[in-house]
Structure 1
Amino acid sequence: MTAAGTDDVRQVAEDALAWVSAHRAGFALGEDALAADGRVDGTWKPLGELAQVCATVTRRTTPADPLHTRAVALLEFAWRQTREGELFPLLQRLEPFATYPLEVYAAFASAGFRHPAYEEGAAVVARSRGWQFTEQDPTRRLGVLKAEERSGVRRPGRAQRLLRTTWLGGLPEPWTFERAAGYALTHVVFHLTDWGRADGPLPPDLARYLADWLPPWLDTCLDAQSWDLAGELLAVAATLPHPLDDVVPPDAWQRLRAAQDPTGAIREEGRETGDGEARDPGRYFTHHYHSTLLAAFAAVLTTAHPAGASAGPEGRHGRQGAPA
């Protein structure tokens, strides 16, 4: 990746996190966060995604980096929304077999924000058959297993068995890729790599498969203006043990940056149709927050890729003498 290309990617991250900071009130938990009929997708899900992305940004940047400082501030804001973790035991009592509280909590735990009493309670519930046999698709179950690990619950050997029951783990025919499969495969990679915070955990056959087929899949998503999924695929590309120039179309970041509006936001799909924020701020936030977060996430992983375009196929850290 050229220096100019790196500058473009860095600017995507800076502008996206600036927008997230300016709109952080949209991630705040309202009074319905503990409601029995609460809309989890509009309360806990955005907050968990904010924590997940910012945990990675802090891990993949240095303390002197303004992106690091901004991500730390957003993490602290998000943790305060949970009352420093006190809401998690309350959620557990209200919905003992719901997995989303643990999944959100695990994002905080990966950044060092912990609530020991909740972890103790979660470990008790996780030993029950009711928890272990909850009906879930394989990708979601893999995510829950990884959330358990980050929260102190260990189940050795299960991740690899689960992996092979996912869409990506089956190494399917590449022409069967579509929207649902795309989101499933990106999340399998995120779960296995601890959301880009861990180096080198992808099985070699999966890494080779993704290196072969990410370029046309990414190109297809960019052509379709599926900015959210394109951002997720760019993040996956940055976790692979391959030169970025081999797995990312040469104009991919320029196309994504062109979709970023002057405020730093990126719409999930399509083009902006006017001042939607002024007309309906809530709807505007809903259709921009995830794709904007994921653009920042992918950009930070890309700029932190250990060898850029010079890493060899031997592994993420490259050949002897290659930059690590």
Structure 2
Amino acid sequence: MTARTGTAAHTGATARTVRDRGRAALAWISGHRHEFRLDDGAALAADGDVNASWKPLGELAQVCVCVRRHTDPTDPWHAAASDLLAFAWQQTGDGALFLDVQRLEPFATYPLEVYAAFASAGLRHAGYEHAAATVTRTRGWRSTEQEPNRRLSVLNSERRSRLPLHQEMPEALRRTWLGGLPEPWTFERSAGYTLTHVVFHLTDWGLDTGGLPTDVATYLRHWLPPWLDTCLEDDQWDLACELLAVAASLPRLPEPAVLADAWASIGAAQDASGAVPEVGPGRGEREPERTFATCYHSTLMTAFAAAVTLARLREAETSGAPPAGSSGRPAPGGQGVPA
């Protein structure tokens, strides 16, 4: 077996593993759609918990948008994601609830951040967009104090909702942890989550692999693999899946062995139902919880990372470019990524 044939076989095996993991995750999500339901009372309550209502629904919508973008319309994944996205939109009253929230909390950013996922898929509500456009033109909106990565989220939401950006994204990037190109040994869990979302906002959730400045992309190419390995060693499955999604959003994928090992680890953490817990036993020997609250996000991230990774592998195969690594050798033909 030649080196080129061996690389193709390795990539094909990884793609099959990724697809198996993503298929199982999407099946679990579909089977638990009822737990993403948005209760009108809780969603609009002054003392309601946004993290238990709008956040899960918004994350479901965003992942469905990503899966649709990265799959062919004939793919069963595409159909499943479309069905779930329609369910999520229906939960918002076809967008009407966004206008209700806007009236109750005019300067809250989370309604726009959730709405932007739907808007990017062509699901829009004219009344809400008119109200949001009015608020986002104010000095109060521009001056709201936010964490730097949250500011990027709002800017990307404005962009996806076709609203004028109140700040340039490159400027906002340099205020974030990742934008400062920090010493790699300062990476820890909270930094990991901020950097993943910075990448998601800059690449529009993996759609634009050229969305990162060259210095940031180069920095991540060097340091993402060891950070990913650290998370896998500690059974941080949720963060590991987000890092895998970041890896698939870079101009070049990591080395094939990095992807193969990481996805094998995710597979070991995923149970027969398709659920992936946020964390596992880890070095602290903690027992992983397998409730909806402790599995839904990591399972969503598994489906998201799988869809983006498979799309990149297909793209590399079609273009004849190397699927991963830095050897620069073209991938051999005739070794299609499994459907």
TM-score (normalizing by structure 1): 0.91
Matched, 1:303 2:313: no
- Which ranges in structure 1 are unaligned for 5 or more consecutive residues? 278-283
Query: How many Å separate the matches in 1 of 2:325 and 2:21?
Result: 28
Letter aligned with residue 290 of structure 1: H
Give the conservation status (yes or no) of the 8 Å contact 1:50–1:293. Answer: yes
TM-score (normalizing by structure 2): 0.87
Give the conservation status (yes or no) of the 8 Å contact 2:207–2:249. Answer: no
Matching of residues 167-316 of structure 1 within 5 Å: 167-245=177-255, 248=258, 250-271=260-281, 284-305=291-312, 306-307=315-316, 310-311=322-323
- SS of equivalent residue, structure 1 residue 266: coil
Q: Deviations over 1:85-121 (max 9, x none)?
A: 0001100000000000000000111111111111111
Residue matched to 1:127: 137
Deviation of the 1:242 alpha carbon = 1.5
Deviation of the 1:183 alpha carbon = 0.3
- SS of equivalent residue, structure 1 residue 97: coil
Q: Deviations over 1:55-91 (max 9, x none)?
A: 0100000010000000000000000000000001100
Residue matched to 1:50: 60
Query: How many Å separate the matches in 1 of 2:266 and 2:331?
Result: 33
Q: Which moved more, 1:246-255 or 1:28-37?
A: 246-255
Deviation of the 1:157 alpha carbon = 6.2
Residue matched to 1:150: 160
Query: How many Å separate the matches in 2 of 1:227 and 1:182?
Result: 12
Deviation of the 1:248 alpha carbon = 3.0
How much identity, in percent, do the aligned residues show?
58
Residue matched to 2:36: 27
- Report the aligned-residue RMSD: 2.3
Letter aligned with residue 30 of structure 2: S
1:6 aligns with one of 15, 21, 24: 15
- SS of equivalent residue, structure 2 residue 111: helix
Letter aligned with residue 133 of structure 2: A
Give the conservation status (yes or no) of the 8 Å contact 2:231–2:237. Answer: yes
Letter aligned with residue 152 of structure 1: R
Residue matched to 1:281: none
Residue matched to 1:98: 108
Matched, 1:60 2:70: yes
Deviation of the 1:273 alpha carbon = 5.0
Matched, 1:15 2:24: yes
Give the conservation status (yes or no) of the 8 Å contact 1:214–1:247. Answer: no
- SS of equivalent residue, structure 2 residue 255: helix
Letter aligned with residue 5 of structure 1: T
From the superposition, tell whether residues 75 and 312 of structure 1 become closer, same or farther in structure 2 (CA, over 3 Å).
closer
Query: How many Å separate the matches in 2 of 1:28 and 1:96?
Result: 24
- Which ranges in structure 2 are unaligned for 5 or more consecutive residues? 1-9, 334-339
